[in-house]
Amino acid sequence: MIKGYARVSSLSQNLERQIVALREAGCEIIYQDKASGKDLNRPEYQKMKEELQPGDCIVFASLDRLSRNYKDTSNEWKSITQDKCCDIKVLDMPILDTKSNEAGLTGKVITNIVIELLAYCANIERDKIKERQTAGIKLAKTRGVKFGRTVSLSKEQFLYHYDSLQKGNISVTKLCEQLGISRKTFYNLRDKYIKN
């Protein structure tokens, strides 16, 4: 049976382009996930793997729909083709079609080498993106850009309310309710603003 797998990284992205391509490739069943490719804990992907039968062919529109991680891509490729005895076809890379390799073992070896190389390149690109992101954040911080949550109360506001607490006019629980903050936030602010 020919089965397809489509994935986008976020809920706002559209799977339609991949689904059309997979249908045109003859997929009888198409599994769809809207989840990051960083790990394999995706519900439809796991369901697809459980339902695989020897001789099935899994079609991906692109190799990065399988995973964005070198190790995972390589391991999953081997798991599907060797352990599950299934074929894989990647639409945008015809060389990555284990079913059409008429050269037999040589074709499978070449496909495995190509998959290792492509997965490695995808991993390198992901690492470069992380490096650029880290450098961008560092540069933004030097320019004074603030990251994280905004402070819920200024020091003056906190000290005003803390004074009522110290005088016994209000409990921590009631104060937190009035201020709309959690007890953890209260204690974090106390530790931040009040020197012991």
pLDDT at 106: 66
Are the CB atoms for 56 and 1 separated by under 8 Å?
Answer: yes
Query: What letter does residue 97 receive in the DSSP assignment?
Result: B
Is 62 in the active site? no
Are the CB atoms for 87 and 99 separated by under 8 Å?
Answer: yes
pLDDT 10s per residue in the chain (196 long)?
A: 999 999 998 888 889 999 999 999 999 999 999 988 888 899 999 999 999 999 999 999 998 898 877 778 888 888 998 899 999 999 998 888 887 655 566 667 777 787 778 777 777 877 888 899 999 889 988 888 877 777 678 888 888 888 888 999 999 999 989 888 889 989 988 998 887 5
Please give the span between the terminal C-alpha atoms of the chain, in angstroms, as a whole number.
Answer: 70
Residue 37: burial class (beta carbons within 10 Å; 0-12, 13-18, 19+): buried
Report angle CA 109, 113, 115 to the nearest 5 degrees: 115
DSSP string, 25-75: TT-SEEEEEES-SSSS--HHHHHHHHH--TT-EEEESSGGGT-SSHHHHHH
The answer to pTM > 0.85 is: no
The one-letter amino acid code at 45 reads Y
Are the CB atoms for 171 and 164 separated by under 8 Å?
Answer: no
Pairing of strands 57-60, 2-8: parallel
